[in-house]
Amino acid sequence: MLFYTIKRLLALIPTLLAATMLVFLFVHLIPGDPASILLGDTATPEEVAALTRELGLDEPLWTQYLIWLGNVLQGDLGTSVFFGTPVLTVIADGAETSILLATMTMVWIVLFGVPIGIVSAMNKGRWIDQITSGGAMLFASIPTFWLGLYLILLFAVGLGWLPSSGFPSLTDTGGVTNLRYLILPSLTLAAPNAALIIRLVRASMLDVSREDHVRTARAKGLRPSRVAIRHIFRNALISVTAAFGFTFAALVSEAVVTETVFSLPGIGRLVVQSILRRDYPVIQGVILVIVVLYMFINLLVDLAYARLDPRISLK
């Protein structure tokens, strides 16, 4: 297992190189240059040229890439053109929000999606399945911006129970209680994702329930609930695991709309804003981090497979 993990981590290196090259290329393909955006409409061509030189953007592309790569290898992602602070700090600020938000969302997804999916599969075709399946379809279709705004209207504006926007860091005053800022956004994000997990759990369980070994389990005289959880859900979990992994990665990196609705300083919004600002170092840095995150989660999913299914051996 340890050997396998090390091998997999080493295999990430070429993938990472390819990914950084692509990112670098694409970022520089975006029309417009940071210097003129930073200086605004009133800047003279001389000022723009001076800033371009200062930022190192007058070098050939491959030189810029090698310089950037060399710095990255030393742990230096560069300095944000817009904020003037190290990219690493900018990303770390966003990552705190995004990772906490994604984690809390995952808790809702598991808490709601898994049990409802199991109940739905166990009662296939009955009214309870029709209600949950219909509900899941509804929540999967609701746009997050709409759901987010209505949750704000109800719980923040109407009832006044929860804050409507922003997220002070856990290190700010308030500490852990600051997590309440993330309740509404995480519920918003959880709704469509939990709906998908409900459908997925239900479908995988129905697949497994047709397998011969489930009949063996029933023939032992086990209670239907035990058959459903120990034999059907347990085996269905193998195919649901990948969905959990990639949902988490997507929640960290792609929650742009929800972050915007709730004014959260997350990674998703950081990417979009940095692209608008042509903040090359930040875009490159964030995408690098997201690529690493995806590869890492991919590895975790594979390790989880091996834990869940003894037929898979890691060699």
Partner 1 sequence: MALLDVENLEISIRFGHELLPVVRGVSFSVDENETLGIVGESGCGKSLTALAIMGLLEGSGVRVTGGRMRFGGRDLLAMSADERRHIMGNDMAMIFQEPMTSLNPVYRVGDQIIEALQQHRNLSRRAARRRAIELLDLVRIPEPDSRVDSFPHQLSGGQRQRVMIAMALSCDPKLLIADEPTTALDVTVQKEVLDLMLDLQKRTGTAIILISHDLGVIAETCNSVAVMYWGRLVETAPTDALFETLAHPYTRGLLHSIPAIDRDVDWLDAIPGRVPTIGEQIAGCPFHPRCPRAESRCRHEVPQPREIAPGHLVECHFPYGGDR
What are the residues binding partner 1 (CB under 8 A)? 211-213, 215-223, 230-231, 234-235, 238, 308-311
Residue whose CB is less far from partner 1, 53 or 223: 223
Q: How far is the CB of 241 from partner 1 (least distance, A)?
A: 13
Q: How far is the CB of 196 from partner 1 (least distance, A)?
A: 24
Residue whose CB is less far from partner 1, 220 or 315: 220
Q: How far is the CB of 228 from partner 1 (least distance, A)?
A: 12
Q: How far is the CB of 214 from partner 1 (least distance, A)?
A: 8
Residue whose CB is less far from partner 1, 180 or 213: 213
Residue whose CB is less far from partner 1, 246 or 305: 305
Residues 6+ apart with CB under 8 A from 302: 8, 314
**Chain center to CA of 161:** 27
Q: Which two tokens stand for residue 219?
A: 């023939």
CB 293 within 8 A of CB 249: yes
Other Cβ atoms closer than 10 A to 121 = 24
Residue whose CB is less far from partner 1, 236 or 293: 236
Q: Which residues pair with 79 in a beta bridge?
A: 86
Q: How far is the CB of 13 from partner 1 (least distance, A)?
A: 34
Look at residue 40 and give its three-state secondary structure.
coil
Look at residue 135 and give its three-state secondary structure.
helix
Q: Report the C-alpha gap between 196 and 55 in whole angstroms.
A: 45
